[in-house]
Amino acid sequence: MDATKTERIRALNDQLRTRGEGGNILVTRGVAALQPPLLATVLAAVQGFDAFNPDNDPYNEHDFGSLEVYGERIMFKIDYYDRSMLAHSPDPSDPRFTVRVLTIMLAAEY
């Protein structure tokens, strides 16, 4: 994939993760069941996550992260679907063809 497409994917992923714009955000049952103050802390930690590196972000798209919040291991992943949400997006760099879904889960649910 060329650098321009990767940069666009990364920017769109960051927009969803940091501002909640440009896609859907899904939390798993385990995350939804957290006490409200802890849930708010988890969501803020995902929003502020910036520890991307070649080990957790090999394609430089900012589409995955793993972090710990008060002893709870949290993971997030961004997936790219076509507009029907039935298949993968034909071009994740183009929001006209892509629905982004940010899933936030407890690592124990994986």
Q: Which tens digits make up the pLDDT trace of 12-68? A: 999 999 999 999 999 999 999 999 999 999 999 999 999 999 999 999 999 999 999
pLDDT digits (tens, 9 = 90+) for 81-96: 999 999 999 999 999 9
- Answer yes or no: are the C-beta atoms of 105 and 75 closer than 8 Å: yes
Total domains, the chain: 1
The two structure tokens encoding residue 29:
């049952």
Secondary structure of 96-108 as H, E, C letters: CCCEEEEEEEEHH
Q: What are phi and psi of 78, to 5 degrees?
A: -110, 125
Q: How far apart are CA 43 and CA 46, in angstroms?
A: 5
Domain boundaries, position 79: 3-109
Q: Is the pLDDT of residue 1 over 80?
A: no
End-to-end CA distance of the chain: give it in Å, rounded.
28
Instruction: List, in order, residues 6 or more apart from 18 with CB less than 8 Å away.
Output: 47, 48
Confidence (pLDDT) at 3: 85
Confidence (pLDDT) at 2: 85
